[in-house]
Amino acid sequence: MQEQATDEGHPRPSPSARGRSAPGPRSWPLVGDPLALRGAKNMLEYLDGHWRRYGDVFRVNVVGQRMLVIAHPDDLKTVLSSRRHNYVKGSAYQSARRILGDSLLTLEGETWKGRRSLAQPSFHRRSLEKLAAIIRERGAAFLGELARRSEGKPLEIDAHREMVRLTLDVVVNALFGQALNVSPTTYQALGAALELVSNGANGIVLPAWVPTPHNLRLNRTLAELDRVVYDVIERARREQNDDGSLLSMLLSARDEHGAALPDRAIRDEVITLFIAGHETTALTLTWLFALLDGQPAVLAAMRREVDQVLGGQDPSFDDVAKLPYLRKVVDETMRLRPPAPAVVRNAVADDELGGFHVRAGDMVLPFFAATHRHPAFWPEPLKFDPERFDPALDRSRNSWSYLPFSAGPRVCIGNMFSIVETIILLAQILNRFELTVPPCAAVKPVMMGTMRPSGPIPVTLTPR
């Protein structure tokens, strides 16, 4: 294949390569690319290596499955928007369906469309205002506990561990509101399910009937999870609390024929919202702390904004829009460390992407983490610089070059909820503590479905 290097050194296909087979590493019968199996330990390094070598469309074969990885904004737009009907959530989402059932995240076609319009109002402004109050209340309780633990002295925390605990507390309360007497069993069942689905997302998952230790544990966890969630649904139906929780909104939602969602669908949506919305937000906060390493000016600017706008008070929903610098830091964090580094689709019919042939049945992987560092769209792509998200610069950028929440009709339904949550919690932390971040260069991003840190991120909180 003939390739032309662009100014940035990223090959794009020459006209003669149109419709040709995409480049990629050598593939062996049955095994495919043996490095992919090793790469499964850190998919990010593996995919990054091929991206640098082969360019914005490349092919890898993993145990008989052909996968096309795409990183150019034009191709992302094709797959997620203009020709999205050809790129569906097929076999790629099979392991997620075992846990989530048929929900917003896993459904396709008309059923998905109906479910999305039913759920969408739960994320409109009015609902977000109510959810913001829950976030603020849980944030204050959690940070109060940290302040007590610190006894007025500097307290070292592992940012990842504590942010996961904090967002777990927020999401459980945002989902279940007053219907839940949040018992340790509930937390445990939900936490264990999350762990299993995240780990399953990265490996080769054997069918559910194969009695591997993973499958046995998963089946036990799912049974416990179902018991807990159905119990909460039943209680919420009985008590009919309009407490602003996502569960109360789902229970009162009606389709165009006036029909409510059956319990099974509510169960699937509740577990999906929990899993999709919990770790991702924790990771944004975690990486934000890690990226502050060596950035005293950014930290000072965040603190200045919080002090000026909030004067020591916790933020309301309306305050979030008054903290534009915090928003820029959050956006830049998700550019360099997107909590969801990629999504997967299955091609229905043959097609062409970036001049390369797509075969029906191919898995296609929009690789957001690469697009976010693409030198043709981001000057000095590896530099942490929140000012890139200054509205003036932002407007001139290709809108398909930054997709932390994906894009098109299947864009993350919780995107604004997550931004509001991240900014409220961040402002609450800055209100209460001075932060010291030690050198974090050794902590690498590891792609495990989500983008996790390779080790602890020790941050010292000193009460102000």
Q: Is 322 helix (H, G, I), strand (E, B) or coil?
A: coil
CB of 212 to ligand HEM, least distance (A): 25
Q: Which of 104, 290, 291, 459 binds ligand HEM (CB under 6 A)?
A: 104
65-70 and 363-366 beta bridge pairing:
parallel
Applying CB under 6 A, the span of 51-59, 68-76, 229-237, 280-288 interacting with ligand HEM comes to 280-288
Contact pattern for ligand HEM over residues 330 through 369, marking x by CB under 6 A: ---------xx--x--------------------------
Applying CB under 6 A, the span of 10-18, 45-53, 211-219, 279-287 interacting with ligand HEM comes to 279-287
Question: Which residues, 178 to 237, sit near ligand HEM by CB under 6 A?
Answer: none
Q: Quote the CA–CA distance of 69 and 10 in Å, as a whole number.
A: 14
Contact pattern for ligand HEM over residues 389 through 408, marking x by CB under 6 A: ---------------xxx--
CA distances from 286 to 188, 404, 457 (A): 22, 15, 8
Q: Quote the CA–CA distance of 3 and 381 in Å, as a whole number.
A: 23
CA distances from 87 to 124, 230, 244, 258, 435 (A): 28, 33, 35, 31, 44
57-62 and 65-70 beta bridge pairing:
antiparallel
Query: By beta-carbon distance, which residue lies closest to ligand HEM?
Result: 414
The residue among 190 and 343 lying less far from ligand HEM, judged by its C-beta, is 343
Question: If we measure between CA atoms, which residue out of 421, 423, 432 comes closest to residue 307?
Answer: 432
Contact pattern for ligand HEM over residues 18 through 47, marking x by CB under 6 A: ------------------------------
H helix intervals, 43-124 = 43-54, 73-77, 94-100, 109-119
CA distances from 129 to 92, 113, 280, 315 (A): 35, 25, 21, 12
Q: Does 272 bind ligand HEM (CB under 6 A)?
A: yes
The residue among 105 and 426 lying less far from ligand HEM, judged by its C-beta, is 105
The residue among 150 and 248 lying less far from ligand HEM, judged by its C-beta, is 248
Q: Which of 23, 24, 73, 277 binds ligand HEM (CB under 6 A)?
A: 277
CB of 368 to ligand HEM, least distance (A): 7
Tokens of 282: 């924790």
CA distances from 122 to 114, 130, 149, 245, 324 (A): 14, 10, 36, 9, 25
CB of 384 to ligand HEM, least distance (A): 17
Q: Which residues make up the interface to ligand HEM (CB under 6 A)?
A: 104-105, 116, 272-273, 276-277, 280-281, 284, 339-340, 343, 404-406, 410, 412-414, 417-418
